[in-house]
Structure formats: structure tokens, C-alpha cells
Structure 1
Amino acid sequence: MRRIRLFFKISRFIPFVISFFRSREIALRKKIAYLLLFIGYFFIPFDAIPDWLAVIGMLDDVAVLMLILKSMIKTAPNTLKHKYGI
């Protein structure tokens, strides 16, 4: 249920992600790790469920994106979480 709510609040995460990468409170190693995760997510062509299966095929892509965002939220400083109401 939490992942479903997270999915519907996706528009709020764009400024959060930008602030996450601009924040001086977060170690450069973590920023690079998350950047590599995002790049890998978009450029590695492997899917558990092929995208040509319409909606079902995109579910694994959304799940991976939500897992990355959830992990970013956990590692973000409290000031950043409160700023965006997360």
C-alpha cells in the first residue's frame, strides 16, 4: 500500500531528487551510487517482464524506480524530508 501511495506522489519527487543531488549533507559517494542506479535503470535493456506486454510490462520498471526512490528517501537527511513532506 505504501508503494502505491508513493507512485501517486511521483510529481513531488522530481524537486526532491534535484535537491538530493544538490545537498551538501549527503556524501558524494551516495550521490554517485544513486546516479549510477538511475543510469543503469534507463540503459540496461533487461526486463523481468517485457515492455511489449502493455501495462503489465511496465510494472517491473515502475517497481524498480519506486525502490530506488524509497532508498533515496531513507538515506536523505531529515531536513530534506521535511522540506518536501516525505
Structure 2
Amino acid sequence: MFKHLKRIKFMLKPWRFLPFLKEFYVSKDVQLHKKALGVLLILTYAFFPFDLIPDFLYLIGIIDDVVIAGFVLERMVNIAPQSLKEKYNVI
């Protein structure tokens, strides 16, 4: 439970998280299918015409998109190589 919360806290700091994401996609330690899966899941949900909560419900509709994208990004942090997690102190 605490690892999950620590990853979310890490993701809320863009000055640390964005370089992590860049290195995640540049790293040869991360398998290509893992890189593609993260992008594919976010793009699929973003462009899929049906949402869990429709976007015309202004604030609530946008929040479900952010939560789903956050979940996918949190999973990407989870599957990152141990060396990358150690470098950014995400363990």
C-alpha cells in the first residue's frame, strides 16, 4: 500500500517524473512491448468515444480521464527496471 502511495506522490512532482518518463522510453533495459503498451493504453482511452463518465459532465468527466491516465502511468513506474527506480528513488 505504501509503495503505491509513494509512486503517486512521485508522479505529482513533474520535475522528477518527466525525466523518469523520458529515461523510461529511451532506456534499452525496458522491453519495447512495455513501452508501447503504456502509450497505447493512454491513447486508446483518450480517443475512445465512450468514457466511464461522459465528458459533458464537466469536471467529473475530465477527472475520470485523469484517473485512468494516472493509473496507467503508475503501472509504468511499477514495471520500470530496478536501476531506474533506484536512480529516481521510487522504490
With structure 2 as the length reference, what TM-score do the two structures score? 0.74
CA distance in 1, matches of 2:85, 2:11: 17
Q: What's the offset of the Cα at 1:15?
A: 2.0
- For structure 1, the 5+ residue unaligned runs are none
Alignment of 1:1-86 (within 5 A): 2=5, 5-6=8-9, 9-11=12-14, 12-86=16-90
Give the gaps of 5 or more residues in structure 2: none
Across the aligned residues of Structure 1 and Structure 2, the Cα RMSD in angstroms comes to 2.4
What is the rounded CA distance, in whole Å, between the counterparts of 2:31 and 2:46 in structure 1? 23
Query: What is the alpha-carbon distance in structure 2 between the residues aligned to residue 10 and residue 38 of structure 1?
Result: 20
Identity among equivalent pairs (%):
40
TM-score normalised to structure 1 length: 0.78
Matched pairs, number = 85
User: What displacement does 1:10 show?
Assistant: 4.8
| Alpha-carbon distance between aligned partners in 2 of 1:10 and 1:64, rounded to the nearest angstrom | 18
Instruction: Quote the offset at 1:60 in angstroms.
Output: 0.9
- Deviation above 4 Å: which 4+ runs of structure 1? none
Secondary structure of the corresponding residue to residue 53 of structure 2: coil
User: Does the 8 Å contact 1:6/1:66 carry over to 2?
Assistant: no
